[in-house]
């Protein structure tokens, strides 16, 4: 059977954006409009002729609108199969009209529970009952019924109806798939809300993540891998997924990983900060009095590795910083920042050789980061933990050596401890003048990481501080640090070898702090 002509539309929406223009178009195409309560009144105020669902069913709305569309005359009209004589005979026998178009969106449950201090009773009142039933019925009968659930669908659906008097099967199938995705997302939000409400701890008995395809990517980590980026439904705030791209080529899978890492590093700083990422590890990072100072110091951390890097900033990129980044000999793949001044955009997109290619990613204000869960896929399941974003408890830090770090090293040690949590384990950071000057990352042996970090820092180890994401099991790394001129060490402590490590620090007159907290990043 060919697509049935659209004679009638049933409309019941919470979000009325664009509805009047859409319905006027349907009316002009000869479609009869049936609607309920608030939606009907909204359309009538715009002089659109609307037939009342309650009059049609002979059953009034009741219980403050909780019951209005749940009626056999409605669902039979939506679910009837136009190519079945018995279905159509049943409609005729019971004087039931068919609805070939259903336009429904749901009570704003997600928006309601996102409000601060929302009560359980308020949340319950925003659980839609009739809406999801109408949506599922129409989506199930996609061979004959078109289901519209989003104002973004109005224009294309109206265009088809205006031109042909109906919708194509391809369109109905797409609308149906979108409708089922919408109700699944809605149900997930409800189940998640009640699961969290009834759970004392962090982890609920069941957890679902709803994601929407944002873009397919050119390829994954390697050219032979297919890849895409999805946004997590309900995610908000400053992040790479929701960022606005102001310039440059299409983002790659690895670009996105590195941009995310760059943003994570600079986010906690209150003073201007810059991070330089290469292969998902910082090869440079710094804080300064100005953004351009932070950028200069960060780029100097490891100039060789910084070629072709990803940069992150925690403040608006200004003209002076853009001029620095455009100096000859530098090549930058992408920059993520809260925003870019107009002059900075002009410089970065016109001055350097890589002007047409650099990706400029605007994420908006870096508001205080809230507690969140971190997910990591493994075969057969998912590892879930709370993200390692908690602020460190500086007063609980303990100086365990005879020598005490002088006041000039206090901020340096805090900076080094902030840096090491962003380097892959085994992680070592050598820092000087609020700048990362040497990093040892991802080695199987901690002493290897120490040697790499010291080699990267070269002569800058003199008077620098060294941080370690986990304890030193043996004193060998302490001896290497002392030989390089390290002025102070910070680490979690907690090894059975702590006594020998402390003894080695005392031997060299190096102060050492135990933080009592580890920062592994596998």
* Residues assigned a catalytic role: 140, 279
Spatial contact of 384 and 207, defined as CB atoms under 8 Å apart:
yes
Name, in order, each residue with C-beta under 8 angstroms of 485's C-beta and a sequence gap of 6 or more. 461, 462, 463, 464
Task: Classify the C-alpha dihedral 205-211-216-221 as positive or negative.
Answer: negative
| β-strand pairing of 273-278 with 281-287 | antiparallel
75/63 Cα distance (integer angstroms): 20
269/415 Cα distance (integer angstroms): 10
Residue 255 to residues 183, 262, 336, 454, Cα–Cα distance (Å): 33, 10, 11, 28
| β-strand pairing of 211-217 with 8-12 | unpaired
What is the residue whose two structure tokens read 């969106």? Answer: 105
Q: Which two tokens stand for residue 480?
A: 């290497």
Strand partners, 286: 274, 435
Give φ, ψ of 377 to 5 degrees: -80, 135
SS3 262: helix
Q: Please compute Rg for the chain using Cα positions.
A: 30
In eight-state DSSP terms, residue 233 is T
Reduced 3-state DSSP string for 292-360: HHHHHHHHCCCHHHHCCEEEEECCCECHHHHHHHCCCCCCEEEEEECCECHHHHHHHCCCCCCCCCCEE
């Amino acid at each position: 059977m060919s697509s049935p002509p659209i004679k009638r539309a049933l409309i019941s929406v919470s979000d009325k954006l664009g509805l009047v223009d859409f319905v006027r178009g349907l009316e002009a195409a000869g479609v009869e409009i049936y609607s309920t309560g608030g939606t009907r009144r909204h359309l009538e105020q715009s002089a659109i002729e609307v037939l009342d669902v309650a009059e049609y069913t002979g059953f009034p709305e009741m219980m403050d609108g909780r019951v209005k569309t749940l009626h056999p005359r409605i669902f039979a009209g939506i679910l009837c199969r136009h190519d079945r004589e018995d279905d159509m005979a049943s409609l005729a026998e019971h004087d039931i009209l068919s609805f070939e178009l259903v336009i429904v969106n749901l009570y704003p449950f997600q928006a309601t529970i996102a409000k601060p201090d929302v009560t359980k009773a308020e949340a319950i009142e925003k659980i839609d009952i009739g809406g999801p039933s109408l949506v599922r019925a129409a989506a199930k009968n996609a061979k004959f019924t078109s289901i519209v659930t989003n104002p973004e669908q109005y224009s294309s659906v109206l265009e088809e109806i205006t031109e042909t008097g109906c919708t194509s099967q391809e369109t109905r199938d797409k609308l149906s798939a979108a409708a089922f995705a919408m109700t699944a997302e809605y149900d997930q939000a409800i189940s998640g809300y009640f699961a969290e409400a009834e759970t004392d701890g962090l982890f609920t008995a069941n957890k679902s993540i709803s994601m929407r395809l944002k873009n397919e990517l050119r390829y994954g980590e390697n050219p032979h891998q297919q890849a895409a980026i999805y946004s997590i439904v309900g995610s908000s705030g400053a992040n790479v997924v929701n960022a606005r791209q102001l310039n440059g080529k299409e983002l790659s899978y690895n670009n996105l990983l590195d941009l995310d890492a760059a943003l994570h590093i600079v986010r906690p700083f209150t003073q201007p900060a810059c991070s330089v990422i290469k292969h998902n590890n910082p090869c440079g990072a710094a804080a300064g009095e100005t953004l351009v100072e932070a950028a200069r110091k960060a780029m100097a951390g490891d100039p060789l590795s910084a070629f072709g890097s990803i940069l992150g900033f925690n403040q608006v990129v200004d003209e002076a910083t853009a001029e620095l980044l455009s100096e000859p000999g530098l090549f930058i793949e992408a920059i993520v920042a809260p925003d870019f001044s107009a002059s900075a955009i002009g410089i970065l997109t016109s001055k350097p050789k890589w002007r047409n290619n650099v990706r400029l990613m605007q994420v908006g204000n870096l508001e205080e980061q809230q507690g969140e869960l971190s997910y990591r896929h493994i075969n057969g399941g998912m590892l879930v933990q709370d993200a390692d974003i908690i602020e460190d408890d500086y007063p609980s830090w303990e100086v365990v050596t005879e020598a005490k770090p002088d006041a000039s090293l206090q901020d340096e040690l805090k900076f080094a401890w902030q840096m090491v949590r962003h380097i892959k384990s085994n992680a070592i950071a050598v820092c000087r003048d609020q700048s990362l000057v040497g990093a040892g990352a991802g080695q199987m042996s901690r002493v290897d990481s120490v040697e790499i970090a010291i080699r990267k820092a070269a002569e800058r180890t003199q008077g620098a501080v060294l941080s370690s994401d986990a304890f030193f099991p043996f004193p060998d790394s302490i001896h290497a640090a002392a030989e390089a001129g390290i002025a102070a060490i910070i680490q979690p402590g907690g090894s059975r070898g702590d006594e020998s490590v402390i003894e080695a620090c005392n031997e060299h007159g190096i102060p050492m702090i135990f933080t009592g907290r580890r920062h592994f990043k596998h």
